[in-house]
Amino acid sequence: MRSMMTSTGTAANIRTAVLILVFLCLGSSKSIAAEASEPNGPSKEASLAAKVFDEGKTAFAILTISICGLVVVCTELARRGKPFYVRPIAGLQAIEEAVGRSTEMGKPILYVAGLEDLNEIDTVAGLTILSGVAKVAAEYDTPLEVPTSRALVMTAAREAVQAAALAAGRPDYYDEDRIYYITYEQFGFVASVCGWIYREKPAACFYLGKFFAESLILAETGNAVSAIQIAGTAETTQLPFFVAACDYTLIGEELFAASAYLSGEPAQLGMLKGQDLGKLAAILLITVGSLLATWDSISPRGNDADGKPLPRRSHLITETVLKGG
């Protein structure tokens, strides 16, 4: 029943969005007709602004729709019962182990959802995992501390933890004083969190979201108090620090797969499969592009009849499929 309600609500959202966009497009077509009937044509900038669709981005639009379409098709297949296998992710399987360790030691858990705001998808992914961690922590009745660097993230984190406590059947577990805003200043935030780690000595630390230079300071401080540490970020420059200092690291896309992995919902698992098909398409493009570029370097095309250099063979990929991106 709940999945039907969710799908009905989702379908309603999509219908509403499509209706509004169609309305906007109809309105824009009227404005284009009005512009065309003017005696003096509009300037180039004005004509570009009045255009409904930028033709230069056609190829990229097709690529975007294809990848999104793949994801949606796989979601529908999963909803209709097609099973999809998702490999185990060690960092997510260790959540219960980490929370259990904290419970045995009588120490709190620290969760840092990154340093960016709610407009970053890494933060949204971090908050999704926070729900899962909070649910397990509520079941074990282990205190969960969530310092945040943005007020909006604090608000969303409070909602997530409260809902998780309700889902675990422990509404009294939720304590809003444990989810608080510190500062948006990078090193001010990490100084406060590190001070808390040294004083309270948590048994488990989670760093899941967007991090920058402060990542190693956090990880090393947690290591100094012998906490089990699970980290995850999409920032490639910070991954080596987390891998070196933490027990488990979610690398790149594993952070985004967490929502589907933890919920186990067929629709979300289907989206993971769509993601994999998108990766397959990327592999194909890279392979073909590499072969064409190698062919170009071994046997260049030379010049045409007018003496102008012919376009490279690899432009078949870069100037068509990827143009406009």
Partner 1 sequence: MSKSVPVAIASLVGFLMIVAYFSPYLLPWRQAAEDWYSIIAAIAMVYGGVNLCIHHLKKISDREAGWGFSAVTVLAFAFTVVAGLLKLGVVPESVANLDHAWSGRFQQEGGLLWWNFQYLMSPIVSTMFALLAFYVASAAFRAFRAKNIEAVLLLATALIVLIGQTKDREITSLFMPAPTDGSSPYLPIADVTEFIRKTFVTSGQRAIIIGVSLGVVATSLRVLLGLDRNYLGGDE
Determine the Cα–Cα distance for residues 308 and 184; give it in Å rounded to an integer.
Answer: 55
Choose, by CB under 8 A, the member of 59, 94, 167, 317 that binds partner 1. 167
- What mask of x and - would describe binding to partner 1 in positions 192 to 231, judged by CB under 8 A? ---x---x-------------xx-xx-xx--x--------
Choose, by CB under 8 A, the member of 96, 175, 253, 296 that binds partner 1. 253
| 206 Ramachandran zone, left/alpha/beta (phi>0; psi -120 to 50) | beta
CB of 315 to partner 1, least distance (A): 20
Long-range residue pairs from 158-165, CB within 8 A, at least 24 positions apart, any chain: 160/127, 160/128, 160/130, 160/131, 160/134, 161/130, 161/131, 161/134, 163/131, 164/130, 164/131, 164/132, 164/134, 164/135, 164/138, 165/134, 165/135, 165/138
Q: Does 30 bind partner 1 (CB under 8 A)?
A: no
Burial 62-76 (b: 16+ CB within 10 A, else e): ebeeebeebbeebbe
CB of 144 to partner 1, least distance (A): 15
Q: Does 137 bind partner 1 (CB under 8 A)?
A: no
Q: Does 234 bind partner 1 (CB under 8 A)?
A: yes
Largest Cα–Cα distance in the chain?
81
Q: Which residues contact 188 (CB under 8 A, 6 or more apart)?
A: 182
Residue 147, beta-bridge partner list: 180
| 218 Ramachandran zone, left/alpha/beta (phi>0; psi -120 to 50) | alpha
Query: Would you say 103 or 233 has its CB closer to partner 1?
Result: 233
**What DSSP state is assigned to residue 43?**
P
Q: Does 238 bind partner 1 (CB under 8 A)?
A: no
- What mask of x and - would describe binding to partner 1 in positions 281 to 320, judged by CB under 8 A? -x--------------------------------------
Binding residues for partner 1 restricted to 39-98, rule: CB under 8 A:
48-54, 57, 60-61, 64, 67-68, 71-72, 75
Nearest to 113 by CA among 155, 167, 165, 170: 155
Residue type, 50: A
Binding residues for partner 1 restricted to 102-131, rule: CB under 8 A:
117-119, 121, 124-125, 127-128, 130-131
Query: Would you say 297 or 303 has its CB closer to partner 1?
Result: 297
Query: Would you say 208 or 305 has its CB closer to partner 1?
Result: 208
Q: Does 250 bind partner 1 (CB under 8 A)?
A: no
| Region from 82-90, 102-110, 176-184, 314-322 binding partner 1, contact rule CB under 8 A | 176-184
Choose, by CB under 8 A, the member of 146, 154, 204, 227 that binds partner 1. 154
Q: Is the alpha carbon torsion for 269, 98, 123, 7 positive or negative?
A: positive
CB of 75 to partner 1, least distance (A): 8
Determine the Cα–Cα distance for residues 270 and 75; give it in Å rounded to an integer.
Answer: 4
Q: Does 251 bind partner 1 (CB under 8 A)?
A: yes
Q: Does 21 bind partner 1 (CB under 8 A)?
A: yes
